[in-house]
Structure 1
Amino acid sequence: MGEIAPGRAVLDAGEPMHEDVAVVIEDGEDIRELLAQVLTQGGFTVHTAADGPSGVELVRQHDPIVVTIDVNMPGMDGFETARQVRSLTTAYMVMITARGDEIDTLVGLQAGADDYVVKPFRPRELRARIEAMMRRPRALASTHPSAPRPPQAAPAPQRVPSAPGHAGAPLPDDEHETSMLEHRGLRLEPQARVVELDGQEIELTRSEFDILRMLLGSGRRVVSKLQLAGMLRGERGEPDHFLSEHDARAIEVHVANLRRKLGESPSEPRWIETVRGVGYRRTA
C-alpha cells in the first residue's frame, strides 16, 4: 500500500486492536479524521481535539490508553502538549508530524513519547506501531514515583550467560524476565519496572527502560539496532526485516536520552558501549 494523503485513507481489514479509549490531538481536520478512523476500526472509542489544551483536558477526563499528538500545532505545540499528557497518564503516546528532523525526534521522545510517525504515513504502519506498543507493559513505576510499586514475583533462577560474542546465543526473553539485573551500581527490577543508580531512582520512559533491560540482560553480546527496534515493536526472536532510517534514528535518540539520564559519556561509557556500525552492548 502506498502512502496515504489526508482524507484518502483505504484502511486494512482485520481484527480490532483493542476495545479501549484513544485521544487524537491534531489541528488538521483531514488528518484528525483519518487518525480517528484508523483507531475506531482498531476497536477504540476515540475522542478528538483540535488543539493542545483541549486534548490535555480530554486525556484528564477519559484516561485513554493511546494518545496521538501532532507536533506542529498553533499555540501550545505538540511537545508541550506531550509533557502535560505524560504528567497525567502512562498512556502509549505517538507523536505525528510532517517534520522528520532529528531534533524533532529528540524533543518528542524526551517529552515522553513512545514512538514518532512522520506524515504522510500509511494507516497500516500506524496500526502496526500501536499494536506493538500495546504488547509492552503500560505501567511505569519510575514515571510516577509516588505511585505504589506493583507486587514483585518470586525471584526466578538466574540465567546462565552465554559466551561473549557467541552469535547463536539467544537474547533474553524480556516478557518472562523476573530476575533483578545489576551492573556497576545500576539496578533494574523488570517486574516493578524500576531503575536505581547508586540507590537513587532514575526516571526513564517505557522505551528507554526496555532498551536498558535488553542490553543488561544480554551480557556482553552485541545487540544490533535492528534487534532493539524489533523488541520495541514486540517482535520475538531475530527480526527478519530491514532497519529503516526512522527506526535507526529513534534507537539512537533513545540511547542518547538514556545515557544523558544516567550521566554517562559515550566516549567513556560506564554501562553502555557503542559498537560502531552494529549496535550496543553492556560494558565489561
Structure 2
Amino acid sequence: MARRRRSSAAESLKRRNDGYESLCQVVQQDSDRRLITIFVIFFIVIPAVSIAVYKVKFADRVIQTESSIRQKGIVKTDINFQEILTEHSKASENSTRHYDYPVLAYITPWNSKGYDMAKIFNSKFTHLSPVWYDLKSQGSGLVLEGRHNADKGWIQELRSRGNALILPRVVLEAIPGEMLNKKKLREKAISLIVTECKEMEYNGIVLESWSRWAAYGVLHDPDLRKMALKFVKQLGDALHSTSSPRNNQQHMQFMYVVGPPRSEKLQITLAPMLLSSG
C-alpha cells in the first residue's frame, strides 16, 4: 500500500514538473516572439516608413529641381568665361522654395538690380537685409545715419508679395573704446536702434561690428572684449523683448555677423564666451 502511495506521489510530482517545463517553454516562446516583433518594428518597419515619407515629401522635389537645372545646361564642367559673362545676370523663373532652412540676402544700394531681384524672388528668402544704416560717433554722443536710404514703397511691395522679414544692416562705426566703456553710450546705441526699428516697422536688424572691433584691437583686449560681448547680448535682449510693430505676437529678431577668427588662440578664447552670451 505504501509503495502505491509513493508511486502515485512520484507520478504526480513528475506531471507537475512536466507542466512547469511546458509553461516555461510557452513563456519563452512568447518572449522570443515579442523580441522578434520589436526588432522588426524598430529596425525594419520604422526605417521603411521614414524612407517612404521622405520620398513623398522631399525626394520628388529635389529630383525635379536637379533634372530641370541639368536639362537647361546650367550645371556642367566645361564652362568658359564668356558663358559666365553671358549668363550671370539671368535667373530661373521658378520662385518656389524647396527647403525649409532660413535664407538671408543682403540688398546693397550700389546694385540697383538687387532691389528688383528681392521682389521677384521674395518667396525664396526668409530674411532680407538692405544695407542702409551706420551707427557713428558724433562729438560726445552717437548718431544713427541711413534713414534717407530706406525705401518704404519697396518694403511695402515686398510684404505684399511674400513673408520675408526685413532686417536692415547696421554697421557699428562708433569709436569702440568710447562706446563700450561708457554705459550711457551703450544704452544710447541700443535705444537708437530699437526706436528706429519701431518707427520704420522693421522686423529687427543685422549688426556688423566684428571686423571693426578686430581692427581696433577690441577682440584681443580682455576688458574691451567682455564689454563688447555684453553690449551685443544687451542689444539682442532689447530687440527680443520688443514686439514687432506689425505683429504683436512676434518679437523683433537680431542677427550678429561674426567673421572668421584671425588666430587659433583667439578662436579658442572667444568660442565659449560667445556661446555663453548667446
- Using structure 1 for the length normalisation, give the TM-score: 0.25
Higher relative contact order by CA 8 Å / sep ≥ 6: 1 or 2? Answer: 1
TM-score, normalised on structure 2? 0.25
Relative to its length, the structure with more helix (as a share) is 2
Q: Which entry has the higher C-alpha Rg, 1 or 2?
A: 2
